Amino acid sequence: MADGGERLTVRVVDDLSTVPAAAWDACAGGDNPFVCHAFLQALEESGSATRETGWLPQHVIIEDETKRILAAVPMYLKSHSYGEYIFDHGWASGLERAGGRYYPKLLAAVPFTPATGPRLLLHPAADPEIRDTLIAAMIEIAKARKVSSLHVNFLPEAEWRQLGAAGFVQRIGRQFHWENDGYKSFDDFLEALNSRKRKQIRRERRDSLDGGIEIETLTGDALKPAHWDIFFRFYMSTSDRKWGSAYLTREFFTLLHQRMADKVVLIMARKGERWIGGALNLLGSDTLYGRNWGCNGDYPFLHFEVCYYRALDFAIAHGLKRVEAGAQGQHKIQRGYLPSPIYSAHWIRDPGFERAVADFCRREQRAIESEMEELEEGLSPFKREAE
């Protein structure tokens, strides 16, 4: 493949360990922890995202004539739609009722991670037009694999628009994110809220620590293997209750500790000598990403304190711009996490099915945009201008 006179090679890699970490990370950049080589490789090496679990790696690499990697996409051949958080089960059911076959499909995303981040990874020295080459290569791979569809989930708006221009169906969802408006402290943040919500949050924070509960925020060298043993029990307990099975293996957390401890923010709660709950966050250059929560009992408001308020404490103290608290959770809005759009893009092989999906996404987008306006207007805890 030639690009502006330069000869490029497209490769599909089914084992990220064969790609030098430094070469991949030169394209991934240092802003988002989920697309770095260490995180993605930990998912594969630990057995969390593999062929056996329905996540066959099919990472796309573009190299120049010197074998330097200029662009990459984390991509997987999927035999199901679990662990994605952009829900397309209805699409699968509709196509199969019509006599088609939805699986396997291709997915460009980070497994089990509902967090926005770059998907079209580009070396800083590469020509920006190579992203168009990367998109074309992804489509050709989808055609060669004879899959029903190719999906790119939780991508930035600029990439979403570029994929839309390339013929992908565009879809919008929503999450709840907290934005740091230059707050100097948690009390400074509270002052931006109306008095009723301010009192409610103070009461929740106070009541969450009833009975002598203490909270510790651990990162870097403060993390020990014992913390992961405990947190994994919380994770398994919560996974069993919510989904019936866990996505991540115990080995994944070991590898995360070994290779990315400085990007981990583990917030743990204990009562006396006994740990009772915890939340796993990962640290980006300007964002704290909430990922997993687990608890071994019913403790009023502890979830809010560990997952939301302590995350805000950390973000304010470290000058971060935002906190993304993961999927779901309309209750987050009353605690300062406002509705924010999330983006996905979808290439559909069958033209008739593509038209149906595009129509659904247009109607869904109108509904979601209206809902976000209503939620922010009706439930936002922030002061109105009149106040």
175 with 340: CB under 8 angstroms? yes
Integer Cα distance of 50 and 14 in angstroms? 9
Q: Where in the chain is the domain with CATH 3.40.630.30?
A: 2-174+341-375, 181-320
303 with 158: CB under 8 angstroms? no
Q: To the nearest whole number, what is the mean pLDDT of the chain?
A: 94
Burial class (CB in 10 A: 0-12, 13-18, 19+), 365: middle
Section 168-192 average pLDDT? 97
pLDDT for 387 equals: 47
Task: Give tens-digit pLDDT for 300-346.
Answer: 999 999 999 999 999 999 999 999 988 877 889 999 999 999 999 99
The dotted CATH code for 181-320 is 3.40.630.30
224 with 284: CB under 8 angstroms? no
pLDDT for 168 equals: 98
Contacts 24+ apart (CB under 8 A), 378-382: 379/330, 379/333, 379/334, 380/333, 380/338, 381/193, 381/194, 381/197, 381/198, 381/201, 381/333, 381/334, 381/335, 381/336, 382/192, 382/193, 382/194, 382/336
Residue with structure tokens 């990439």? 159
Task: Give tens-digit pLDDT for 98-107.
Answer: 999 999 999 9
The dotted CATH code for 2-174+341-375 is 3.40.630.30
- CB atoms inside a 10 Å sphere around CB 216: 14
| Confidence band, pLDDT 50/70/90 cuts, at residue 6 | confident
